[in-house]
Amino acid sequence: MNTKEVIAQYDKYVMSTYTRIPDVIVKGKGLKVWDLNGREYLDFFPGWAVSGLGHCHPKVVNAVKNYIKKIIHVPNNYYNMLQGKLAQKIIENSFEGKAFFCNSGAEANEGAIKLARSYGNAKGGRYEIITMENAFHGRTLATITATGQPKYQKGFEPLPLGFKSVAFNDINAVRGAITDKTTAVMIEPIQGEGGINVAGEDYIKALRDLCDKKDLILIFDEVQTGMGRTGKMFCFEHYGVTPDVMTLAKSLGGGLPIGAMIASKKFADVLKPGMHASTFGGSPVVCSAALAVFEAIQKEGLLSNTVKMAGYLIERLNELKKKKAVIKEIRGKGLMIGVELTIPGKDIVEKCFKEGLLINCTHDKVLRIMPGMIVTKKQIDKAVQILEKAM
Ligand SMILES: *Cc1c(COP(=O)(O)O)cnc(C)c1O
């Protein structure tokens, strides 16, 4: 099949829920991908942050290859060899508590929402969750409601009750939204889809204090920021506070579908047998991939490479900003970088694509640049060169 035929097949048989670039990707290695015509691209937005180690990291490929021959799926009414091991790995690298495994970010957040409601309801009918404007928490009914953006909600009413959306980075807005029905506050420490908006340190510390005082569960959605993306294993580490619940997905499985909800000791046993489940959650093949992701990050020094390369990339982008008046602001943490423009970014993304560089634009004017943690200076130079040309 050629590109045209693949697209025709999609048009006929696949629901048109996505705006797609008319190209078929067939191969990936590191930060490079190739399309059906053999054209090579430098991928600075690998799968919405899914391929955080780059494409087909050898440790992930080997882990999957080795395990898939033994058994592919073990149902959760039995034990498997790797789910506990992965939970231990996540806990040892985050905070004391327990993990629940599912298959995606939205599901991890659904789990967090259920945990928060279960805890609050048991304390006397508390079920409200405060979320942030411009958040993104997924596409299920509850998570589009938690996602404080009308464009994701329109047409799907009635939405579940019990969510309140307030301004991001504004502690008084949170304070003002708390009622005797509030059970949790849910936030991305850096809003990804919302335009790479970084939560302030004082704000997060105040949020932690407020949640402690009011017995509210502080939920961090680290689906995009987790697993080293920001230069620390988890973004909460930048703030010197720990959340009560943390959700993960995206790069956790090195490209394979896995989601996780982590709850601190105090909340780890809120969900009791029968209250929550996932048929595929924590199956050994995806757990083996996630364990390989941890091993790669830790044994290959990828956190320090992320910090180093992020510094270099920001430096190069700041140079570009001096030359290009269309750049309004550069922000982010680690290799989660937003370049806010004075104009819509769509054309620049398209021009970059034509020149062989994959990036993303969110919120109309923010270019999202998130290369894998294995990125090199040479690749950054090439990407910035293409970006300059596109601008
Ligand atoms: C992508 C994303 C989600 C949703 O994850 P899915 O795997 O698509 O369900 C949730 N939260 C954040 C912060 C995300 O970036």
All structural domains of the chain with their residue ranges? 59-299, 301-360
Q: Is 272 helix (H, G, I), strand (E, B) or coil?
A: coil
* Distance from residue 105's CA to the centre of ligand 1 (Å): 4
Q: What is the mean pLDDT of residues 140-160?
A: 95
pLDDT of residue 353: 97
Give residue-wise pLDDT tens across range 288-316. 999 999 999 999 999 999 999 999 999 99
Tell me what pLDDT residue 169 has.
Answer: 98
Within 13 Å and on the Cβ side, how many CA atoms surround 255? 18
Render pLDDT for 173-223 as a digit per residue (tens, 0 to 9): 999 999 999 999 999 999 999 999 999 999 999 999 999 999 999 999 999
Q: Which helix (H) or strand (E) holds 119?
A: helix 105-122
| Residue type, position 86, single letter | L
Select from 51, 224, 247 the residue to mutate for testing ligand 1; criterion: most ligand atoms less than 8 Å from CB. 224
User: Tell me, what's the pLDDT at 203?
Assistant: 98
Q: Average pLDDT for residues 226-239, to the nearest whole number?
A: 98
In CATH terms, is domain 59-299 a member of 3.40.640.10? yes
Quick check: CB of 188 below 6 Å from ligand 1?
A: yes
Residue-wise pLDDT for 72-108, tens only, equals 999 999 999 999 999 999 999 999 999 999 999 999 9
Residue whose token pair is 């908006």: 197
Mean pLDDT, all residues of the chain: 97
Say whether pLDDT at 1 is over 90: yes
Report whether residue 221 contacts ligand 1, using a CB cutoff of 6 Å. yes
Question: Residue 16's pLDDT is what?
Answer: 96
Share of the chain above pLDDT 90, in %: 99
Under 8 Å between Cβ of 160 and 204: no
* Residue 373 confidence class, pLDDT cut points 50, 70, 90: very high
| Residue with CA nearest ligand 1 atom 6 | 105
Q: Is the CB of 224 under 6 A from ligand 1?
A: yes
- Other CB atoms closer than 10 Å to residue 200's CB: what's the count? 14
pLDDT one-digit tens code per residue, 25-50: 999 999 999 999 999 999 999 999 99
**Distance (Å, whole) CA 86 – CA 237:** 20
Cα separation of 342 and 328, whole Å? 6
Task: Give the Å distance between the CA of 136 and the centre of ligand 1.
Answer: 7
pTM exceeds 0.95: yes
Order of strands across the sheet with 336-341?
Answer: 327-333, 336-341, 366-369, 360-362
Q: Sheet of 25-29: strands edge to edge?
A: 25-29, 32-35, 40-43, 357-358
What was the pLDDT predicted at 132?
98
Instruction: Report whether pLDDT(128) > 90.
Output: yes
- Ligand 1 centroid to residue 388 C-alpha, Å: 30
Give the whole-number percent of the chain exceeding pLDDT 70.
Answer: 100
Question: What whole-number distance in Å separates Cα of residue 282 and Cα of residue 275?
Answer: 17
Q: What is the mean pLDDT of residues 261-284?
A: 98
Q: In this structure, how many other beta carbons lie within 10 angstroms of the beta carbon of residue 358?
A: 22
- What mean pLDDT do residues 366-390 have? 98
246 token code pair: 């943390």
Asked if the model's pLDDT at residue 239 lies above 90, the reply is yes
What pLDDT score was predicted for residue 148?
84
Pocket test for ligand 1, best of 223, 234, 235 (most atoms within 8 A of CB): 223
User: Given the CA of residue 188, which atom of ligand 1 is nearest to it?
Assistant: 13
